[in-house]
Each structure stands twice: as structure tokens, then as C-alpha cells.
């Protein structure tokens, strides 16, 4: 039974034989290669599924508008207007 390819850890020696740690040598190259392969696989899957129909999302449901007369007219600033004059002077 063949041994599966082992992915080196970040602090393991690099598999290319440079003597550096994997994170300082080939980690970025291997990640870029994996990202490219993943993007190609996703593009192929989207193409098979019909990309136009797969990307469409249904429109959101309309917001319910209920009449609530007990609330009265709403002030957009959030504070009620008071018609009480300010006090002046003091003691």
C-alpha cells in the first residue's frame, strides 16, 4: 500500500531540500498552487450547474406594514418636542 503524500508542518524542514523551514521557503508557493486548483474546480462545478441560475438569489420578502394607531405619529429624531419655555435666572 503506497504511503499518502504528507503535507509538511510550518516549522518542519522544507521538502525542496533548501534547509530552510517550510514556512520561510515553499509555503506561499504551495498555497498559491492549491488556491489555483481550488478555483479551477469551483469554476468547472459552476459551469456544469449553470452559473447564471446558480448565482441568482431570490428577492427578499417584502416587509410587513401594519397600521398601529396607538403609537401615534413618529418623530424621526426620536425625542418628543416639548412646548415648555426654558427657565432663566436661578437661585
Cα distance between residue 90 and residue 57, in whole Å: 64
> Using one digit for the tens of pLDDT, what is the confidence trace for 17-67?
888 998 899 889 999 999 999 999 998 888 877 655 546 778 888 887 777
Across 2-28, average pLDDT: 83
Identify the band that residue 83 occupies on the pLDDT scale cut at 50, 70 and 90: confident
Cα distance between residue 2 and residue 78, in whole Å: 71
pTM surpassing 0.75? Answer: no
Amino acid at each position: 500500500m503506497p504511503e499518502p503524500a504528507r503535507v509538511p508542518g510550518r516549522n518542519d524542514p522544507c521538502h525542496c531540500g533548501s534547509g530552510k523551514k517550510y514556512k520561510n521557503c515553499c509555503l506561499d508557493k504551495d498555497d498559491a498552487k492549491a488556491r489555483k486548483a481550488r478555483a479551477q474546480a469551483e469554476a468547472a462545478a459552476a459551469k456544469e450547474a449553470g452559473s447564471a441560475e446558480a448565482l441568482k438569489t431570490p428577492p427578499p420578502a417584502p416587509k410587513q406594514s401594519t397600521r398601529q394607531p396607538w403609537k401615534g405619529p413618529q418623530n424621526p429624531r426620536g425625542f418628543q418636542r416639548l412646548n415648555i419655555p426654558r427657565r432663566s435666572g436661578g437661585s
